[in-house]
Amino acid sequence: MSNVTNSDCEANFPRKVVLITGASSGMGKATVEFLSKNDFIIYAGTRHVEGLQAIKQNNIIPITLDITNQSSINQAIDTIYEKHHRIDILINNAGYGLVSTVENLVEEQMQMQFNVNVFGVLRVCKSIIPIMRKQESGIIINISSFLGKIGLPLLTLYNSSKYAVEGITDSLRHELKDFNIRVHSIMPGFFDTKFARDNLVTNLETFDKNSPYSKLVSNLAPVIVDQINNGNDAIEVAQMILEIINNDKFSARATVGDKAKKFIPMRKELSDEDFERKVIEYYGL
């Protein structure tokens, strides 16, 4: 009978180490819980680690991480690397959502939209890529949005930040392929998450009843809110992440959720003009 122990197995086949940003709620938290059941070591990055104490266990380690602060990112990644000497998977999930017309933009809100959704992704990638490059393996998964391929009014800043994430994904796939580092994006539709319900930042001038955009707001905002409240379950994103991890031939990007599966294929099939007409019809613009 073999005398191989569990520790021997772990030494020969170490569990993959995952870092996920924005892990305290929504898609991030669902992914942490789902992957933890599939034999990964999960570092759940969040600014507020106390919110993850309820799910903390041997292979779920909450870690303080502010993706708008390079020092915070470096400290978190150094902590993980010092313990495991590797980081196998990065899931860029943290997000910020601004609902505003361009005319009413507040500088601070505009800066924050890109600081989190774009520069935050780049900062974490910048710190983790050297580790993956030296170990000659790694997977980076960017949680984007179907709105990274589709423009909607009132969401110009959010849309453009997710368009940028798609560009980052496409370019990094070329930049890192020689080092056996895979890069993918997931484009969810509207999901019923705490982020979508509670964390969207609305510009007060845009939503003022006397705003010149009041008709647009009154027509579109209730539709978006309804689609969020009746959106897909965040577990679908977690399941897609596992599919990407397990399939080294997975495509550059994937759609998850009803709206994404409806609009993204349509975007590929139609001309710009025909697609714009479909969006206008669907959302009553």
What is the tens place of the pLDDT at every residue in 148-202? 999 999 999 999 999 999 999 999 999 999 999 999 999 998 877 665 556 678 9
Q: Which of 43, 96, 158, 213 is catalytic?
A: 158
Which one-letter DSSP state was computed for residue 285?
-
Does CATH place domain 6-283 in 3.40.710.10? no
The yes-or-no answer on residue 158 being catalytic is yes
For residue 104, count other CB atoms closer than 10 A to its CB.
17
- Mean pLDDT along residues 206-211: 94
**The predicted structure's pLDDT at residue 25:** 85
Tell me the per-residue pLDDT of 226-235, one tens digit each, with 9 for 90 and over.
888 777 888 9
Residue whose tokens read 């919110």: 51
The structure tokens listed for 133 are: 């490059």
* Alpha carbon distance 191, 197 (integer Å): 9
Question: H-type helices in the chain, by residue range?
Answer: 6-12, 26-36, 70-84, 107-114, 120-135, 156-176, 194-198, 214-229, 235-246, 258-269, 272-283
Q: Please tell me the predicted confidence (pLDDT) of residue 195.
A: 56
Say which residues have a Cβ less than 8 Å from residue 100's Cβ, sequence separation at least 6. Answer: 106, 109, 154, 156, 157, 201, 202, 203, 206
Dmax (CA) of the chain:
80
Q: How far apart are CA 129 and CA 248, in angstroms?
A: 18
The residue-averaged pLDDT of 122-128 equals 98
- Residue pair 240/34 in contact (Cβ under 8 Å)? The answer is no
Q: How many residues does the chain have?
A: 285
pLDDT-based confidence at residue 5 (cuts at 50, 70, 90): very low
- The per-residue pLDDT for 232 is 80
Residue of 135, 129, 48, 37 whose CA lies nearest to 84: 135
Question: Is the Cβ–Cβ distance between 179 and 134 less than 8 Å?
Answer: no
- pTM for this prediction: 0.91
